[in-house]
Amino acid sequence: MFGAFRASGVSQGGLLWKARMKMDLSPTQKANIRKRLKAADDVVMKVQQSGVECNALTKLKAEPTEAQMPAKDKYTVFSRSFKGYRKSVHKVPHFTKVAVPRTAPTGF
């Protein structure tokens, strides 16, 4: 059909989401995640060394560093709606720009 009602990939059930469905990340994605976590740890350490005191810094000091985190917490996040209660970090919208929690609820 031609015109406004012509068939398209989206209307015929084509690929809508470009995010990978698999839970595994590529080695490059994992390396970039570790790099971002290390950079965030470095910033927290430098702010702490400068002598600044605030509630946000106290909370950040209680979080584990990148070296202390297990791989499960680095590359997945807790999600109540996903099977197994974990989803890959690349499924979090703008995960490179928002703070992804470094710890999950106990038991997950």
Q: Model pTM? A: 0.74
What is the tens place of the pLDDT at every residue in 54-85? 999 999 899 999 999 999 999 999 999 888 89
CA 102 to each of CA 13, 15, 63: distance values in angstroms, whole numbers, following the listed order: 36, 32, 7
User: Residue 47 contacts by C-beta under 8 Å, 6 or more apart in sequence?
Assistant: 57
Distance CA 83, CA 71 (A): 19
Has residue 1 got a pLDDT over 60?
no
Q: Which of 73, 65, 81 is nearest to 101 (CA)?
A: 73
